[in-house]
Every structure is written in structure tokens, then in C-alpha cells.
Structure 1
Amino acid sequence: MPRFAVLNAPRATLSAIALAAMVAGHAAWAAPVAKPATPAPAASAPVAEAPEAPRVPEQSSLDGQLFYQLLIAEIQANGGDAGSAYQLYLDAARRHQSGQLYQRAVEIALRARAGEQALSAAKAWRQALPQSRDAAEFTSQILIVLGRPGELAAPLRALIQLTPTPQQPQVLANLPRSLARLSDRQVAAQVLDEATQPWRQPPLEMAEAWAASGEAWLMAKQFPKAMTATRKALALQPDLLTANLLAADMIGQQPDAEALVKQRMGRADAPPLLRLAYARRLASSQRYEEAATQLDELVKVQPEQTGHWILLAAVRLELRQTDAAEAALKQVLARTEPAAATPAQPAQSAPNSNAGNTGSTATVSGDLNLDKDREQAYLLLAQLDDLRGKRAEALRWLELADPRREKMAVQSQRARLLAQQGKVAEARALLRGLPESEPRDAITKAQAEVQLLRDLGQLPEAYKVLEQTSARYPDDHELQYDQAMLAEKLKRFQDMERLLRRVIELAPDNPNAYNALGYSLADRKVQLDEARALVEKAAALKPADPFITDSLGWVAFRQGRLDDAVKLLREAYTARPDTEIGAHLGEVLWAQGRKDEALRVWRESQTRDRDNDTLKETLQRLGAAL
């Protein structure tokens, strides 16, 4: 490494010198300026003073050689020669054992996207200054970005150790999301466990460390390990919100998760965020009555949160409780009323002309920038009026939700309403005319049109649209999957198998393709061994998914393993009381001669979806009357 002497240094501008001084650390390296002596106050008679000893300025670390070395490094960095600038800073950092200089070397390498050089400088920094928390943090972040989990545990552990004790819980809580950038979530969880091991055992044991472990294993879909860690966290600190939220996330995946959540929810100081997470989990499991109960309590505590009212309205709509849904949506409109429109931009009124309508007056400011919650309220109000058979009013709510007529979700709902009025051509033209800002938009539009045609029962026409779109985008595995599902509905089983095998080829980690193919084979009682292998592969990719568990149970039923089938289907139905899963469970119970129990399951399932095709076909085929 050449040394740059003062005489050989190029002439620099004042701005460059200032930049070099700034990078070097301002006052940290500047020689202190001696304070001038304060004059003595005037007096009637002179007072003799002892002569003051001459002050000797403290020596600065920034000598002439270092000053010009940093100056040249900055000039080179600004001139595009990042490699030379990096080497100059790294050399200076090593000679002066300066964390600031090491950090600048790392930053220059990162700016040049030279990851290995940045890592090399960070490692040298850690070795030279092992007590530097910044060095541990930079090293950890770079290793994560480079995807090098094998070297991560040590710097992460150092990062925690070098963090002041009061801040350690926050560092631990952030670790799972930081490690989520690693492609292999299971490896990420293992790294986290290795790094946090001292804080998951006495004398340093912390609930936050166990919660971080639980979150990492949950991300890896290793539910038993996640549950074990969550129990440990709650045993140490029952009020720890992150651990309680983890338990809520595992409802339906782990048998005792809900009991843990209910234990915390039973107290008067139950956190609203936990109640919201619990309500969402109940709603996603189609346990709408229980979800509504939790949300009713939540809006009492946080009535100003419009998102709670929207979720409550959506649940009430699922229960077909239109008046209760309307009452919740009125709360949203009252809390999101936009500022009064200007004379140049008059507000628009919501539908309110017919007797028995929603009775709300909604306005939207002329700048057309809607509050997101208000927009969602308009969408739900459109669904509500649709349920009431007031399609014209529903269309006007959608007009308020999207005055520019450019949002896919809104216009898809508008197209569906038009189609229900017999205006199918207009509905399809509406979807096809939506603007496309990126290539994926064309696929989304096609999928919306296909769903519209499926709802109308026009399956051959829907298949034709998918065929045309797939020809344009032959490597889009989602399109291939949608086409395969429609092929099965049309009993084009050879096409379905071909398409699903193509999906597996394009996306080998897609559990839905393995599950769909395995279930279809089992349902048709063909290639049962392959069907079982396919569904087991899906279960390995997506453990504890109730629909995949349902497929496993159905395969077992087709193979004559009735006890295994009942066990699996009951597990799936408990996790997700879906009507189709209930139809399968009832059929296996019926085959075992447990007809009363089968009828009970079917009746329960029918209350959720009376028009479910699988349930209706099962009852008809078996001659069962509910």
C-alpha cells in the first residue's frame, strides 16, 4: 500500500478538504483550540498575576499523511474508482484501529455492490475491535444479504452480547424478520437458535429469545418446534405479546394453541392486537359467529379503528346479517368523512334514493383520492345491496369506490353485477378494457374474466379464455394451474394431468399442484400409490394445511384405510370446518356404519354452504336425507 506524503499530494479544493475532514470524524481528530485567556476585570490598583504556563495543543490522530490519504480516497470514490478508495480506507483503518475508517471502507464497498470486499472489511473490523457492536451488526447484515448462513451465528451472538441489556429484547424480537431474507427458512431458524442459545437457558434465559425461536420455526412451517418455543416463552412471561400472537397464528395447526390464547383473552387487560389476531384466525377458519363476538368486544375498546369495523362488517356479511353489517359500515363512513368539497370540485352523493336502502350518505372529495378504509366500506356496501337484490344501488356504491374505473378489484365486482343483469358482453368488455401498467395485469384481467364466466356456469368459454392467455404466457404456472382446475371441472382429465405436471415442472415447490393432482387421481380411484406420494409431497412442502390433510384422508379412504382416513379428515375438519372437508368426513363415517355421526357432520356443513357441489353430490349418491 503506497503512502501518500504531503509534498506528493495533489492540490485539493476546499470542499474536498472539508469532506475529508467530515469523513475523518470532525472534532474527534481535530486539534483542540486553546481558549484565550479571559481578561481580568478592571481594578483601582493593578494586581500582579503569576505568568500562565504555555498550553501545549493535544496531538491529533489526523496527521498529515492520514489527512491526505483520506482526501485522495474521497476524491477517488467520488470519481468512480471505488476499489482504490476502499483499499486506502482499509489500510488507514488497520493502521489506526479506527472503527470509523473500517465503516467507511465497508460503505464504499457496499455502494459499489462489492459484497465480498464489504464482508472482508467488516470481518477485519470485528477482529481488530471485537467489542464494537457496529462491527458485529455490519458483519451480520452483509452475511444475510450474501446468503451465507454458515457464518452468521457468531456475529449475531456478538451483536446481542454487545447490546445494552435493556435493549436486548428488541434485538431478539427483530432477528426472525432479519433472517427471513435467507432463502431456506429452516436453516434461518437453526441459525437463530444457535445465536440465541445463551439467552434460552439460565442464567440469561429470556422469554423474548424463546419467542424469536418460535417465530423463526413458524416461518419455517415447523409447527411443533414453534409451539414448544412459544410455550417456553409464555411460561417465562405470560403477558409477552409476541408469544401470544404466535399462539394465535398456530390455531388450527397445533391443538393447544387456542387454549393458550383463550387463557390470555380471559383477562380484563387482554391486548386489542391479540383479540384482533384471534378474530382474524376465527374468520379465516369460517368460525364467523365466534369471530363476530371477538370483534364486537374489540370495537368497544377501540371504536376509532375503522379497520375493526370493516372486518366486523365483512364477518356479518358472511353470516348474511345485513342490518348488523350496515351498522358497522356506517361507523366507517362516519369516521372517514372526507374534507368538504370545494366549489370547483363538488362532492358526489352515494345511492340513497330508494326506500329501504342503506340510509347512509357517502361522499367522496373531488380529488378522487379515497381513504382506503372508506373505499373498502363502499365495496362491502355494494355486496350488501347485492344481497338485498338492489343491484343498481350496488353499482353506484362501486362507482364511488372507483370513480376512474381503473381498479381491478372494484371493476371485477362491477362486471359481476353487470353480468347478473344479463349484460355479459358489457361486463367482459369492461374487464378487457382495464388499463395495464405491467405485463402481469393482462393475466390478472384474464383471471377475472374467467371467474366471471365460471360464476355464470359458462365453463367451456372460461376454458377458452384461459387457453388463449396461456398461449401468450406459456411459462406462467398460475395460469397453467387455473386451466388445470377448469379442465377437471370439464372432465378433461388428460388435459388436467398434463397441465398439473407442467406446473410441477415450472414450480417444483408449489404444494397446490402436487395436492390437486394427487387428489384428482384418488377421487377417480386411479394410480392410488402415486396419488399418495403426490399428496405426501404436498404435505411436506406445506405442513398442517387442512386442505392437504383432507386430501391425505381421501387417499386413505380410497385405499381402504378407513381408520386413518377418519383421523386425518377429522383433523382437517377441526382445523378448517370447510363444507367439502365435511362432505368427505361424513362419507367415511357413513362407510364405517356411523350414520348418525355422518348426518350430524353433513348438517353442520350444510349450514355453511347449502349449495356446495361436493356435498350435494355426496348426499345424492349415498341416498342420505338431512
Structure 2
Amino acid sequence: MLGIFSGLRLSWQQSGTKAHFTLLPMSNEARCISKLLLPLLLAFAPLPLAAACDKAMPGEAALASGMAGEFAVQAGKLDEAACHYLQAARSAGDAKLAERATHIALLAGDMPVASAAFALWQRHAAPSRDMDTVEAMLALRQGRRGRALAALEKLLASSVPEGWRNALWVLSSVNADNPDVAWVLARLYQRGRLPLDNWSAVLPFARLAQLSGQMQLSGQILETVAGNFPDEPHVLLLQASLSLAADDKPGAMRKLAEARSRVDAHPQLRIALADEYQRMGELATAEQLLSEEPQNLQIQALRASLLERSGNQQGLEALYRQMQPPPADAEPRYRLLLGQMAEMLKQYPAALEWYDSIEAPQWMHVLQLRRAVVLHALGRKDEAYAQLRALQNSVPGEVQKDAWDDDPRRDGFLAEAELRQQDGDREGELDAYARGLLALPDDIDILYAQALAWERFDDIERAEASLRKILLIEPDNVMALNALGYTLADRTRRYREALALIDRARVAEPDNGAIIDSHGWVLYRLGRHKQALVQLKRAFVLHRDAEVAAHIAEVLWVMGRRDEARQYFDQARKLDPEHRALKRALQVTGAEL
């Protein structure tokens, strides 16, 4: 999945925390050493992988093997990397190397190497929660249900929160359709091992049961939690989600109505409840819920967004009037929101007045961007681009960065490119990127946006060149690794190369939904449909996006599961009916909605 730049709107986002392993990067010193050792490593004749994994080597060769492992990671060759790290760990008797070999082997799906590396890790390190977590994962992936259950029970018995989080992570990291996951989860509930006395801890397990198709088990967990916490609205929200997954929208609406009676005036609970309503397409109900007192700027911004999305111009106008005049002590963002609402209402002169009324140096470059957008909408395009040129030509330090800790010149070039795109001015858009790179050589954000433009123009060779330039500047740039891997998988037949790039991104961010989508898509291109479906469904859980839904639909269609495919096509259409991925998938499959 490619990323999308959009620098012209403000948004408020909430993010949760996820428990996951991240491979430890090399230190700066190690990277310097790796550059010095590269010629030496290239001089070594490559060892057969089996031999490299099966025996230890002298200390000097062990060092070279460790560095070879890191270079293999950089090349996206995870199976080779795991093998090299295992060999180095055996030679040095190093627990950290064994741990790294274990994690990389798990990512590569190489269970024999993962098992060998894990045994070495156990031998050279004291027992730990991370070790218990990997033991559970390894056993689950190998189909050793009893061993996995015992390891997970050990994690859940831990008195620290990370115990249940790690247990949840293990169960979530395996295909939700895996019967072993269903078996283990059911046993954990039956034995009373789930944290039923902590609603915030147990609800994710109920959600997991739902995702793995165990609707009865999910319902049982929720009933137990509801009995323990009869006044907790979050339990009702998940029960509503369960009803919706079972195509029982009336039941879901009843649960949400019950939750609504218990939300009271808590702003964050109202936002969570409104989010459930909007997920069901009930935008008007969501906005009505948020309209209740008390109000704050975040809620007012969300209301404005919901009213615009639902096409309720009258309601948006009423909210806009209701927020005027601004309180005497209103922060700059209040007036900024009024300006954006005026834009939504196409009251562009009023929007300019709001932006001109803000006297806050730290928002100066944001205001210049907004003015440019408004002038462009008024058809005063020369003035709009003049605003952006002024921003582009500003001296670093001349415009303060307090509001958005960023170089304002970059935003000026990116905003111009986006407006040129709206004008259908291909040459103007590309020129904005070119001038941006002259002013800010090797700027990652501009190179990335330029690459997306080349891809949109079907110039894959130039898109690849821009992304590879990013990787020359930052070899570990996850965004570029994923984008290049996805582009090669989606627009060329270089699938093996694409998989190597995406694997490098997976090492850095194993729980990133966009990267998991890319991984699933390249597996589909390689003809590994069942594996692809596992990854794509996991991506959709983490990142509900029209492109991911379209990918799942296409894979299901090719597999002959066309009723399921239509359901995902329908979800993609509801999320974004104009998405390119949806249109292409419909064209490829010939499906009709």
C-alpha cells in the first residue's frame, strides 16, 4: 500500500498502544564498522546456508557472519539473515545474537532456524517475559497446542500488564483462521486464565475471538465481562461491534443506544460511541451525539467533519454560527477551525477574514497555506501561488516552527504540487517538486511525494528512481522500502525483489497495517493466495482502508469465494467509492456491485 500526502487539512487523531517486538537496530558504531567491513565481507566465499546454520566458526568469521546477517537484513533476505545470525550466536555464545536470529527467523517463517536460535537464546540468557512470549509463538506456529497453552498461561499469570498484552500479541500474530488459535483461546477462557477482572484487558481477547470466527466464545466473554462491569459502556460498544459483524445491525443499534444512556458527559466516551455510529454509516446520529454538552474544540472539529461528510450543509452552517463570536480567550486553533468551516461552506471571503484575524507567529506558515487554498478556490490562482512562493522563499528561521515542528518551505512546495494536481497541471506539479528539491536537496518528504506522482502518471521507472534515492539517503527508511516494494509488486513483475524490500520494512515495523497489506499483495502476485489472504485480513483489522478491502476482495474472487469477495468490495465502496485500487480490482475481476 502506498502512502498519501495531504498537507492541506488539519486533523485531530487518537492513537492506541500496541504490544509488539521490534528488532533492535545496530548502534552507530556498528554501522560504521559495517561500512569498513563491507569489502572484507565481499571477499569471503559465501557459505551454503545449511552449513552456516549447522556449525560454529572461529571468532573472526563469526564477526563477519554477524555483519553478513545485517547486510542480508538490509537486502531483505530474511532467511539468510537468520541463518547468519544463528551461526554468529553459536560461535560467540551471545544471547542477543541468538534473540535477533530468533525474531528474524520467525518473520521469515523458518521454524527450524527459529527453534535452533531460541534454544541457544534460552541457554545463554536468564528466563524473561520476552522469552516466554517467543516460546508461546513458536509453539503455536508449530502446531504444539499444549505447549503454546502452557506458555500463554504463564504470561497471563504475570502480575504486570505486559503479560496479557504479550499473550494477546502472540494470538494476534497468527492467522485468525488458524484452528490452533481458536482452540487455545477457548481453553484459556474455560480455565479462567483470561483477565476477566479487567475489562480493558479482556475486551481485546473478545475482539480476537470475534475475528477468528468464534462468535459464541466472543459472546460468552462479553457476557461475563458485562456481569462483572454492568455499567461499563466499552463492553456495550464491543457487543455492538459483535452484532454488526454477525449482520445484526438492529442488535448493534440497541447496544449502542444502551451505551449512550451510560456515557453521561464524558467527552472521550462520547467520541468512542460516535465513532461506532459512524462506522455503521450513521453519520447523523454520530453528530447528534457529539452535539450534546459539554463541548470542546476537538468535538466541534469532529462534528464539522461529520456534517460535511454527510452533506448536511444546513447543520454545518448552524454549527458555524453557533461558534461565533469566538470567546475572548479563544486559542488560535478556534479561529482556524472557523476558517476551515467557512471553506467547507464555500464561504471563501469569510475564511480569509478568519485567517487574517489570527495573530500568532507560530501559526504563520499554516495560515499562509490555508490562504493559498482559499485563494485557489476563489479562482485567484496567481495570488494563491504567490502566497506559496513567498513561503517557499522564506529564510529558515524567518518563519517560526512552534505549531508544526517542520520546515515551512517544504510545506509550501508540497502544497503547490497538490494544488497543481487539482488543476490537472502535470507539468506544474512536477516543477513544484523539482524546485523543492533544488531548495531542499535530498528532502525525503518531497522525494516521496514526487515518487507517488510519477507512479500516478504511470512512469514507474522514475517513481522507482525517486524511492531508491530516498534509500540511498536513508537505507532503513520504512516508508520508502514499503512504497517501492508495493510499487514493484503492483506495477511490475519483479515480485521477488518486491518481497525482499517489503520484508525489510516488516523487520522494522511488524505490526504496520500498510506494510502487512503490501506483504499480502506481493504474496498474491506470487500466486500464494492462501498466505496472501491471511496477511490482507490481518492488515484490514489494523488498517480499515478501501485499498486493503479491495485487495481482499480480488484475492477472494480469484480463489472462487465470490460471495465473500462481494462483501469486501461493498466495504471498499463504502470507505471510498472512487479509490483507484477498488476500480482496478473491479476491472480485473469483472465483478459488479
TM, length-normalised to structure 2? 0.53
Please name the residue that 2:368 is paired with.
411
Superposed CA offset, 1:394-422 (max 9, x none) = 44444445799963334323322322343
2:326 to 310, 321, 337: 337
- Where 1:580 maps in the other structure, the secondary structure is helix
Please name the residue that 2:519 is paired with.
552
Please name the residue that 1:371 is paired with.
331
- Where 1:417 maps in the other structure, the secondary structure is helix
Please name the residue that 1:154 is paired with.
none
Within 2, Cα distance between the matches of 1:487 and 1:540? Answer: 27
- Where 2:345 maps in the other structure, the secondary structure is helix
The answer to whether the aligner puts 1:275 opposite 2:242 as a matched pair is no
State the 1:449 CA deviation.
1.4
The answer to whether the aligner puts 1:287 opposite 2:279 as a matched pair is yes
Distance 1:287 1:584, change over 3 A: same
The answer to whether the aligner puts 1:578 opposite 2:545 as a matched pair is yes
State the 1:528 CA deviation.
0.8
The answer to whether the aligner puts 1:432 opposite 2:399 as a matched pair is no
Within 2, Cα distance between the matches of 1:290 and 1:375? Answer: 28
Superposed, 1:65-76 pairs within 5 Å as: none
1:474 to 434, 441, 444: 441
**Conserved in 2, the CA contact under 8 Å of 1:487 and 1:496?**
yes
Within 2, Cα distance between the matches of 1:392 and 1:252? Answer: 50
Within 2, Cα distance between the matches of 1:623 and 1:233? Answer: 46
Within 2, Cα distance between the matches of 1:611 and 1:394? Answer: 28
Within 2, Cα distance between the matches of 1:278 and 1:524? Answer: 38
Distance 1:224 1:575, change over 3 A: closer
**Conserved in 1, the CA contact under 8 Å of 2:274 and 2:290?**
no
Distance 1:596 1:251, change over 3 A: closer
Counterpart AA for 2:407? R
Distance 1:441 1:413, change over 3 A: closer
Please name the residue that 2:234 is paired with.
262
State the 1:436 CA deviation.
3.0
Within 1, Cα distance between the matches of 2:196 and 2:399? Answer: 53
Within 2, Cα distance between the matches of 1:444 and 1:598? Answer: 40
Superposed CA offset, 1:488-540 (max 9, x none) = 22233222222212322333443211110111111123221121122222223
1:320 to 290, 293, 311: 311
Within 2, Cα distance between the matches of 1:501 and 1:282? Answer: 41
Higher alpha-carbon Rg: 1
Within 2, Cα distance between the matches of 1:565 and 1:534? Answer: 17
Please name the residue that 1:303 is paired with.
294
Distance 1:618 1:236, change over 3 A: closer
- Where 1:407 maps in the other structure, the secondary structure is helix
Within 2, Cα distance between the matches of 1:221 and 1:470? Answer: 44
Within 2, Cα distance between the matches of 1:309 and 1:254? Answer: 37
Counterpart AA for 1:450? A
Counterpart AA for 1:492? D
Distance 1:247 1:430, change over 3 A: farther
**Conserved in 1, the CA contact under 8 Å of 2:502 and 2:518?**
yes
State the 1:448 CA deviation.
1.6
Within 2, Cα distance between the matches of 1:405 and 1:427? Answer: 21
Superposed, 1:496-535 pairs within 5 Å as: 496-535=463-502
Superposed CA offset, 1:581-603 (max 9, x none) = 23222222332334444344333
Superposed CA offset, 1:271-304 (max 9, x none) = 8365267369769xx837468756754654x514
Counterpart AA for 1:588? V
Distance 1:601 1:217, change over 3 A: closer
Please name the residue that 2:410 is paired with.
443
Please name the residue that 2:341 is paired with.
381
**Conserved in 2, the CA contact under 8 Å of 1:252 and 1:576?**
no
Distance 1:448 1:214, change over 3 A: farther
Within 1, Cα distance between the matches of 2:335 and 2:212? Answer: 36
Counterpart AA for 2:586? L
Superposed, 1:530-609 pairs within 5 Å as: 530-609=497-576
Within 1, Cα distance between the matches of 2:529 and 2:463? Answer: 28
Please name the residue that 1:423 is paired with.
380
Within 2, Cα distance between the matches of 1:326 and 1:232? Answer: 53
Gaps of 5+ in 1: 1-149, 151-187, 194-200, 340-368
Superposed, 1:27-426 pairs within 5 Å as: 210-211=160-161, 235-238=196-199, 262-263=234-235, 272=266, 275=269, 278=272, 287=279, 289=281, 296-297=288-289, 300=292, 302-331=293-322, 333=323, 337-339=326-328, 370-386=330-346, 390-400=347-357, 407-426=364-383
Within 2, Cα distance between the matches of 1:282 and 1:395? Answer: 35
Within 2, Cα distance between the matches of 1:557 and 1:601? Answer: 16
**Conserved in 2, the CA contact under 8 Å of 1:518 and 1:534?**
yes
Superposed CA offset, 1:530-581 (max 9, x none) = 2112222222322332222221221122111222223332333344332222
Within 2, Cα distance between the matches of 1:596 and 1:494? Answer: 38
Counterpart AA for 1:313? A
Within 2, Cα distance between the matches of 1:469 and 1:440? Answer: 12
Please name the residue that 1:118 is paired with.
none
User: How many matched pairs?
Assistant: 390
Gaps of 5+ in 2: 1-95, 97-127, 134-152, 175-184, 186-191, 226-232, 238-254, 392-397
Q: Which has the larger helix fraction?
A: 2
Distance 1:476 1:574, change over 3 A: same
Distance 1:522 1:448, change over 3 A: same
Counterpart AA for 1:309? Q
Counterpart AA for 1:318? R
Within 2, Cα distance between the matches of 1:611 and 1:306? Answer: 31
**Conserved in 2, the CA contact under 8 Å of 1:579 and 1:606?**
yes
State the 1:385 CA deviation.
0.6
- Where 2:492 maps in the other structure, the secondary structure is coil
Distance 1:405 1:508, change over 3 A: closer
Please name the residue that 1:352 is paired with.
none
State the 1:210 CA deviation.
3.0
State the 1:429 CA deviation.
0.7
**Conserved in 2, the CA contact under 8 Å of 1:279 and 1:292?**
no
State the 1:484 CA deviation.
1.7
Within 2, Cα distance between the matches of 1:244 and 1:215? Answer: 10
Within 2, Cα distance between the matches of 1:221 and 1:459? Answer: 47
Superposed CA offset, 1:196-223 (max 9, x none) = xxxxx99xx99xx6347778999x9998
**Conserved in 1, the CA contact under 8 Å of 2:304 and 2:341?**
no
- Where 1:443 maps in the other structure, the secondary structure is helix
**Conserved in 2, the CA contact under 8 Å of 1:251 and 1:281?**
no
State the 1:460 CA deviation.
2.8
Deviates more, 1:593-602 or 1:467-476: 593-602
